[in-house]
Chains A and B, each alone.
Chain A
């Protein structure tokens, strides 16, 4: 692979799928997302089955406040748009702008994570609601915590890509990597849409 093939002056129309490796990453990653869907479904199913088993502890209606959840939703939704902007600049081969928008995405993601940690801290120390309080507690922390774990992993992933490729610039070798990380980030938002609907909104109705 010479520099010419991997470092074109302008990006092809779909830089993420311009090489065989990129194509493979793309397909493999969508396969993984299909599996992730099922993984989260099993946690959602568990939560739906156990959400009324509160063991005389606090239930969904007493615990959840919608203000914080609304802020978290906006943060994550906006971070989804900023990562779309990053991919837009990737297609136009402007590496600096892509890094900038990815940086904004990371900041928004950190904001989301901070809110979630605050929320959990408040439940545990303020309300005495823990993983061991009830079946509802276990199901809640497993589902929402698993999503938070995905956010954490996504942030580390994007940061690692940004740092690792900071001096390399954009080329057809790392374009698929950025693209796939952004797919992952969107998927996290997809899961969150169901969490704020099924867990929080349907919890307080």
Chain B
């Protein structure tokens, strides 16, 4: 019995360690994305090209935060996903409305 718990504990620790490794890789990618974003702005490229790329980079970074750092990729995150996506949907509508208000 004691041995069993030990094996289980070791397995769990190993799994946690692997997850931690994944999160460090995620972090490295986020740093790279940030560097690309700042680099593109300093490089004085065309506005029409830079802005969409910046927004995509931001969206990917946020996805990394949510799914890896905030563990949304784990099981049992259906409700959190529902809540955050509903929030994101209303957020999108809010920003759209306020931007369109000043169109003319």
Residue from the list A37, A80, A193, A197 in contact with B91, Cβ < 8 A: A37
Chain A 43-67: CB-based contact to B (< 8 A → 1; otherwise 0): 0111011000000000000000010
Stretch from A25-33, A117-125, A145-153, A169-177 forming part of the interface with B: A25-33
Which positions 15-73 of chain B face chain A at CB distance < 8 Å? 16, 19-20, 23-24, 27, 30-31, 34, 37-38, 41-42, 47, 50-51, 54-55, 57-58, 61-62, 65-66, 69-70
Query: Is chain B's binding surface mostly helix, strand, loop or mixed?
Result: helix
Residue from the list B66, B76, B94 in contact with A17, Cβ < 8 A: B76
How many A residues touch B, CB cutoff 8 Å? 48
CB atoms of A190 and B5 under 8 A apart:
no
CB atoms of A201 and B38 under 8 A apart:
yes
CB atoms of B65 and A88 under 8 A apart:
no
Q: Which residues of B contact A (CB under 8 A)?
A: 5, 9, 12-13, 16, 19-20, 23-24, 27, 30-31, 34, 37-38, 41-42, 47, 50-51, 54-55, 57-58, 61-62, 65-66, 69-70, 74, 76, 79-80, 83-84, 86-88, 90-92, 94-99, 101-102
